[in-house]
């Protein structure tokens, strides 16, 4: 083999080794036609949220939208056209839950950012929780592979301000993986970090647990993602449409308490709209909330 051929082979090898692996078995042409049209998906849900041992009626909202993200800073880019290789396309999910516990309200918001085309776990997750006692903020940032750096800021003395590291699939990543394509959800025995909302309610240490994930057929037009933790404490169901764009129609979180009780949190979709909501911020746009059946 002559020197020029050797050099050519080395260049080709370098190009392929430096490239980022794309997700397999995803029709990105159809996916992009739906998700890259400058609109977000907004769905409202009737929520029954268990808290302090009782079922609370409330409301949940899911917002899905694509964004250009900074690989380095892991924030939304202000000037994506000038970012070059720092630009990363992500699917963002914002999930809100609002409910009352007696006299005082809870408001929770979870955000998850998952690469659209690149075969990667979610790059960033954060949760804010507000109620009359105080508020907390938790964030996880992907460092490499399945390794995350976490930060927690809490008004509870036992938690306080802390930093920690965790590894594994984040339960909150599964929502976005379903929307990209359900075949992107790891199945079988998987190490999973429980939902940040569950962690907030339980005040448990952040750590991955053994779990089993499967996708099952539940009706003519719906499938279900079933996540069962090996401890037997929690089971999570996310019901979604079989056909693209795999809209999430309902979910269920089953908690088996130490007292032998079964607490079942449920959410069922009641409203849907695809819209550029960020441009709908005037008083005359408030009718859109009624169309979405969002309570005030």
pLDDT, one tens digit per residue, over 55-113 is 999 999 999 999 999 999 999 999 999 999 999 999 999 999 999 999 999 999 999 99
Q: Could you list the pLDDT tens digit for every one of the 296 residues in the chain?
A: 444 433 333 333 343 334 579 999 899 999 999 999 999 999 999 999 999 999 999 999 999 999 999 999 999 999 999 999 999 999 999 999 999 999 999 999 999 999 999 999 999 999 999 999 999 999 999 999 999 999 999 998 888 899 999 999 999 999 999 999 999 999 999 999 999 999 999 999 999 999 999 999 999 999 999 999 999 999 999 999 999 999 999 999 999 999 999 999 999 999 999 999 999 999 999 999 999 999 87
227 burial (CB, 10 Å; 0-12 / 13-18 / 19+) is: buried
Q: Tell me if 185 sits within 8 A of 174, measured CB to CB.
A: yes
Confidence (pTM): 0.92
- Which residues span the domain enclosing 167? 21-290
Within-domain flag for 296: no
Provide the pLDDT for residue 17. 39
pLDDT of residue 16: 38
The residues that bridge with 152 in the sheet, in sequence order, are 138, 162
Over the chain, what HEC string results? CCHHHHHHHHHHHHHHHHCCCECCCCCHHHHHHHHCCCCEEEEEEEEEEEECCEEEEEEEEEEEEEEEEECCCCCECCCHHHCHHHEEEEEEEEEEEEEEECCEEEEEEEEEEEECCECCCCCEEEEEEEECCEEEEEEEEEEECCEEEEEEECCCCCCCEEEEEEECEEHHHHHHHHHHCHHHCCCEEEEEECCHHHHHHHCCCCCCEEEEEEEEECCCCEEEEEEEECCCCEEEEEEEECCCCCCEEEEEEEEECCCCCEEEEEEEEEEEEEECHHHCCCHHHCHHHHHCCCCC
Quote the CA–CA distance of 280 and 292 in Å, as a whole number.
13
Backbone angles phi, psi at 154, to 5 degrees: -135, 150
- State the first-to-last Cα distance of the chain, in angstroms, to the nearest integer: 74
Domain membership flag for residue 259: yes
* Beta-carbon-side half-sphere exposure of residue 23 (alpha carbons within 13 Å): 23
Q: Domains in the chain: how many in total?
A: 1
Q: Is 7 part of any domain?
A: no
The first and second tokens of residue 209, run together, are: 């647990």
Question: Is 295 inside a domain boundary?
Answer: no
How confident is the model at residue 19, as a pLDDT? Answer: 59
Assigned domain for 104 exists: yes
Residue 215 lies in a domain: yes
Q: How many other CB atoms are there within 10 angstroms of residue 65's CB atom? A: 19
Q: What pLDDT is attached to residue 20?
A: 77
Distance separating alpha carbons of residues 121 and 190, to the nearest angstrom = 13
Q: Is residue 5 part of a domain?
A: no
9 in a structural domain: no
In this predicted structure, what is the pLDDT of residue 157?
86
């Amino acid at each position: 083999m002559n020197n020029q051929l050797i050099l050519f082979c080395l260049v080709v090898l370098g190009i392929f080794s430096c490239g980022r692996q794309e997700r397999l078995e995803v029709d990105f042409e159809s996916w992009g036609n739906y998700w890259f049209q400058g609109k977000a998906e907004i769905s409202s849900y009737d929520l029954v949220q268990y808290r302090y041992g009782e079922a609370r009626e409330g409301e949940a909202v899911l917002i899905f939208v694509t964004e250009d993200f900074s690989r380095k800073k892991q924030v939304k880019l202000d000037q994506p056209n000038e970012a070059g290789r720092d630009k990363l396309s992500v699917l963002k999910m914002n999930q809100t839950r609002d409910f009352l516990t007696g006299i005082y309200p809870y408001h929770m918001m979870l955000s998850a950012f998952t690469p659209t085309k690149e075969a990667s776990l979610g790059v960033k997750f954060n949760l804010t929780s507000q109620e009359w006692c105080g508020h907390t903020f938790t964030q996880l940032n992907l460092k490499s592979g399945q390794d995350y750096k976490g930060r927690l800021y809490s008004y509870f003395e036992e938690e306080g301000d802390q930093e920690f590291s965790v590894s594994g699939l984040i339960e909150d990543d599964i929502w976005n993986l379903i929307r990209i394509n359900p075949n992107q959800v790891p199945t079988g025995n998987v190490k999973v970090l429980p939902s940040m909302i569950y962690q907030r309610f339980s005040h448990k240490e952040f750590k991955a647990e053994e779990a089993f994930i499967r996708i099952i057929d539940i009706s003519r037009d719906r499938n279900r993602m079933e996540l069962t933790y090996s401890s037997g404490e929690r089971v999570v169901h996310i019901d979604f449409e079989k056909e693209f764009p795999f809209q999430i129609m309902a979910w269920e979180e089953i908690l088996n308490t130490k007292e032998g009780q079964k607490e079942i949190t449920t959410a069922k979709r009641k409203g849907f709209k695809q819209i550029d909501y960020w441009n709908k911020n005037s008083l005359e746009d408030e009718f859109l909330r009624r169309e979405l059946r969002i309570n005030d």
